[in-house]
């Protein structure tokens, strides 16, 4: 039976990272380590205050399941033992990694998928003034896909225009982080369409998104805060064209794979995203991202340093994780 260790780690961000809800200068993660028969499996999660999570609450939730974990809980039993969220994600990913290490079979093979391919990830520009975001875009204009953090409504069109001028050849996606209002949507959607934005994440608050069902969407609209696990999916049909699958929301890779298939069955596009975290958190997400239309797994690129070994990035291209890292 495995033994469980829980650790809180702080990873500095290169500069700061700003969205409409605030700024941060470090990524605070919780790492679960499972050891059994000389094999070690790890999983990393990010407690997210927006969902009422803290390092302390996530650590306590994992600790509360210690007996079941050390008695050999499997991934399916875990799904019914804990709610979706960061704590379950860390345990689930550690179970996947441990199984891969013990069996000598890579996680992608255990998931019934072909060998992992390199992926192109978005690169995120923090929310700032239009001028500052234009300067950010100019520095990263060689990136093929840029993600803009918006969400203030007023001034967002100017920010979009500044980024498009500075990066005329980059594909653009936008994340409003629930920061727009229904009356702002027509003008903002029109501007996004005119400026070549391909996807808009969570324009309205997740709990007040019904206006999306009754408005023309000239750009695909993606649920982020509105989608967590399988149970939240059906309520999104008709309001959203895509879903952003994040393992910290789904409660792990096991649920994420099920959610991706269910979304595809409903003809919804798949985006795979991340919280600010290290390569250990990106590695399992890369399995789900193999079928995604949009990949946003740039967390390690925004940190001052990453794990060693970590995922290799060449510009915005990320390569499959080394087995020493995960899976």
Candidate CATH numbers 3.40.190.10, 3.10.20.30, 3.90.110.10, 3.30.390.10; the one for domain 3-104 = 3.30.390.10
- Name the β-bridge partners of 148: 125, 174
Question: Is residue 24 very low, low, confident or very high in pLDDT (cuts 50, 70, 90)?
Answer: confident
Residue 149 annotated among the catalytic residues of the structure: yes
Percent of the chain topping pLDDT 70: 98
pLDDT value of residue 265: 97
The whole-angstrom separation of Cα 89 and Cα 110 is 18
> Is the distance from CB of 135 to CB of 166 less than 8 angstroms?
yes
pLDDT mean across residues, the chain: 96
pLDDT in tens, 181-198: 999 999 999 999 999 999
- Would the pLDDT of 152 be above 90? no
What whole-number distance in Å separates Cα of residue 87 and Cα of residue 46? 9
Separation between Cα atoms, residue 193 and residue 293, nearest integer Å: 18
Query: What's the sign of the alpha-carbon dihedral 151, 152, 153, 159?
Result: negative
Cα separation of 129 and 120, whole Å? 27
**8-state DSSP, 179:** -
Instruction: Confirm whether 249 is a catalytic residue.
Output: no
| Catalytic residue (choose from 101, 149, 239, 249) | 149
- Across the range 195-202, mean pLDDT stands at 98
| Rounded Cα distance, 197 and 203, in Å | 13
Active-site residue, from 101, 147, 246, 249: 246
**Domain positions in the chain:** 3-104, 119-318
Q: Is the pLDDT of residue 19 over 80?
A: no
Evaluate if pTM is beyond 0.85: yes
Is residue 20 pLDDT above 70, yes or no?
no
Confidence category of residue 206, pLDDT binned at 50, 70, 90:
very high
Number of other CB atoms surrounding residue 326 within 10 Å: 28
Please state whether the peptide bond connecting residue 309 to the residue before it is cis, i.e. omega within 30 degrees of 0: yes
Q: Which residue has the tokens 């946003």?
A: 296
Where residue 154 falls among pLDDT bands split at 50, 70, 90? confident
Q: Report the pLDDT value the prediction gives residue 214, as an integer from 0 to 100.
A: 87
| Mean pLDDT of the 30-41 span | 97
- Residue 296's pLDDT band (boundaries 50, 70, 90)? very high
Reply yes or no on whether the pLDDT at 237 is more than 70: yes
pLDDT digits (tens, 9 = 90+) for 124-144: 999 999 999 999 999 999 999
The CATH superfamily of 119-318 is Enolase-like C-terminal domain (3.20.20.120)
The pLDDT tens digits for 277-287 are: 999 999 999 99
What is the share, in percent, of the chain residues with pLDDT greater than 90? 95
């Amino acid at each position: 039976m495995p033994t469980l260790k829980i650790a809180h780690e702080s990873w500095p961000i290169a500069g700061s990272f700003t969205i409409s809800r605030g700024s941060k200068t470090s990524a605070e993660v919780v790492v679960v380590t499972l050891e059994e028969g000389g094999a070690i499996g790890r999983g990393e999660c990010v407690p997210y205050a927006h969902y009422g999570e803290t390092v302390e609450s996530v650590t306590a939730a994992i600790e509360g399941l210690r007996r079941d974990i050390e008695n050999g809980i499997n991934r399916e039993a875990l799904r019914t033992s804990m709610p979706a969220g960061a704590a379950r994600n860390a345990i689930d990913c550690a179970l996947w990694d441990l199984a891969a290490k013990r069996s000598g079979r890579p996680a992608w093979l255990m998931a019934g998928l072909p060998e992992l391919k390199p992926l192109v990830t978005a690169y995120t520009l923090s929310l700032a003034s239009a001028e500052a975001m234009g300067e950010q875009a100019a520095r990263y204009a060689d990136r093929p896909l840029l993600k803009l953090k918006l969400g203030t409504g007023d001034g967002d069109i100017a920010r979009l225009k500044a980024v498009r001028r500075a990066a005329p050849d980059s594909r653009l996606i936008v994340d409003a982080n629930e920061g727009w209002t229904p009356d702002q949507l027509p003008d903002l959607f029109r501007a996004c369409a005119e400026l070549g934005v391909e996807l808009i994440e969570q324009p309205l608050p997740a709990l007040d998104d019904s206006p999306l069902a009754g408005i023309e969407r000239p750009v695909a609209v993606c649920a982020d805060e509105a989608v967590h696990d399988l149970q939240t999916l059906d309520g999104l049909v008709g309001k959203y064209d895509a879903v952003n699958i994040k393992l910290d929301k789904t409660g792990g890779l096991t649920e994420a794979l099920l959610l991706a298939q269910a979304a595809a069955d409903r003809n919804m596009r798949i985006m795979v995203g991340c919280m600010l975290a290290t390569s250990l958190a990106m590695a399992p997400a890369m399995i789900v991202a193999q079928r995604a239309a949009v990949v946003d797994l740039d967390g390690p690129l925004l940190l001052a340093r990453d794990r060693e070994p970590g995922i290799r990035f060449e510009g915005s291209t990320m390569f499959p994780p080394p087995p020493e890292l995960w899976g």
